[in-house]
């Protein structure tokens, strides 16, 4: 994100930067709603179950900068912290994840900066999700600013598992007992099996509907 720092007031500077990130969340959110509505109109199906958005707190931003060895400045925040603005897209099936990612990438004013596919390559913990870092132009009164947004796309089942893992991670400060870590991994495999089964059932239902349509 290109940002000109206002040296007159640190408070105003912070507020303006966060205004830009908040605007980026609104821009991406509106695009996703339009894409979902269009998909419903054309295919009579909504790939997106719901959307969550959040702005990282100042404490989390400072903690991340310190962890990565950077001084806590506005410039470093904008340059090195890619997930200040975050959007999580929850969908029903794994196939929806890639469909949504493709739709986002096809938007002419959205630039995909990086992708991490934790569905094809899950984390050691069993975590699955599809991550994108994108930038989107924000039009202010006197300039255009490219703001970065992290997008996470996952199924309902993946989101449920990730939410539980997140709570456990913070409860034990990243050092959960080994048996709990093992149980979480087993649950992750169960989630993957459930997603695969639900996708198979959905495809079978669609095939039956197509056959009924041909015979009617």
Q: Domain residues of the chain, as ranges? A: 10-157
- pLDDT tier, 14 (very low <50, low <70, confident <90, very high otherwise): confident
Comparing 11-25, 119-133, 135-149, 193-207, the range with the smallest average pLDDT is 11-25
Q: What are phi and psi of 50, to 5 degrees?
A: -160, 170
Question: 158 and 52 in contact (C-beta within 8 Å)?
Answer: no
Token digits of residue 145? 């600013």
Most confident of 6-15, 33-42, 111-120: 111-120
Query: Tens of pLDDT along 33-43?
Result: 999 999 888 87
Distance (Å, rounded) from C-alpha 134 to C-alpha 188? Answer: 27
Element (H, E) at 26: helix 10-43
Tell me how far CA of residue 201 lies from CA of 47, 74, 95, 180, 195, in angstroms.
16, 49, 13, 31, 10
Q: Which residues are catalytic?
A: 150
CB-side exposure of 214: number of CA atoms within 13 Å?
5
> Could you tell me which CATH class the domain 10-157 is placed in?
alpha beta
DSSP SS3 for 134? strand
Query: Tens of pLDDT along 48-64?
Result: 999 999 999 989 999 99
- pLDDT tier, 12 (very low <50, low <70, confident <90, very high otherwise): low
With a cut of 60, say whether residue 92 has pLDDT above it. Answer: yes
- pLDDT tier, 152 (very low <50, low <70, confident <90, very high otherwise): very high
């Amino acid at each position: 994100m290109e940002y000109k720092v206002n040296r007159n007031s640190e408070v105003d500077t912070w507020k303006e930067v966060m205004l830009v990130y908040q605007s980026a969340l609104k821009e991406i959110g509106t695009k996703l709603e339009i894409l979902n509505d269009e998909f419903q109109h054309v295919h009579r199906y909504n790939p997106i179950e719901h959307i969550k958005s959040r702005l990282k707190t100042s404490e989390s931003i400072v903690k991340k900068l310190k962890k990565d060895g950077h001084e806590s400045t506005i410039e470093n925040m904008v340059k090195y912290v890619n997930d200040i603005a975050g959007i999580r897209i929850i969908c029903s099936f794994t196939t929806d994840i890639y469909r949504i990612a493709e739709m986002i990438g096809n938007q002419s004013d959205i630039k995909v900066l990086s992708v991490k596919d934790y569905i094809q390559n899950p984390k050691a913990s069993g975590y699955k999700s599809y991550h994108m870092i994108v930038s989107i132009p924000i039009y202010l009164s006197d300039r255009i600013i490219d703001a970065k947004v992290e997008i996470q796309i996952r199924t309902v089942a993946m989101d449920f598992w990730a939410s539980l893992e997140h709570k456990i991670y913070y409860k034990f400060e990243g050092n959960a007992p080994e048996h709990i870590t093992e149980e979480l991994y087993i649950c992750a495999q169960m989630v993957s099996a459930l997603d695969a089964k639900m996708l198979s059932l959905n495809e079978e239902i669609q095939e039956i509907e197509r056959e009924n349509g041909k015979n009617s």
